[in-house]
Amino acid sequence: MCLGVPMQVISIADDTVIAEIDGVRREASLMMLTDQVAVGEYVIVHAGFAIARIDDFEAEETLRLMRELFDAEDMA
């Protein structure tokens, strides 16, 4: 199973961002995006690529659901 994770952009250099979530930082290429991305915005990161830009509400809701799911799996 593949999973794209919402991450907040903390820096941009050329066609690459550094994105962070829960203290984890990842470098991601912007070459798959047609939208402009700014520092502070959220992107979905998958396999080293930012594959979509999403708004703050959608990112936070997705992260909340992912955390609930993963916490439930840890208890099983």
Tens of pLDDT, residue by residue over 5-54, are: 999 999 999 999 999 998 999 999 999 999 899 999 999 999 999 999 99
DSSP letter assigned to residue 73: H
For residues 57-66, average pLDDT: 93
pLDDT at 43: 97
Q: Which domain holds residue 67?
A: 5-75
- Are the C-beta atoms of residues 22 and 6 closer than 8 Å to each other? no
At 38, is the secondary structure helix, strand, or coil?
A: coil
Q: Which CATH number characterizes residue 62's domain?
A: 2.30.30.140
The total domain count for the chain is 1
Please report which confidence band the pLDDT of residue 65 belongs to, taking 50, 70 and 90 as the band edges.
very high
pLDDT at 71: 76
Give the whole-angstrom CA distance, residue 50 versus residue 17.
Answer: 8
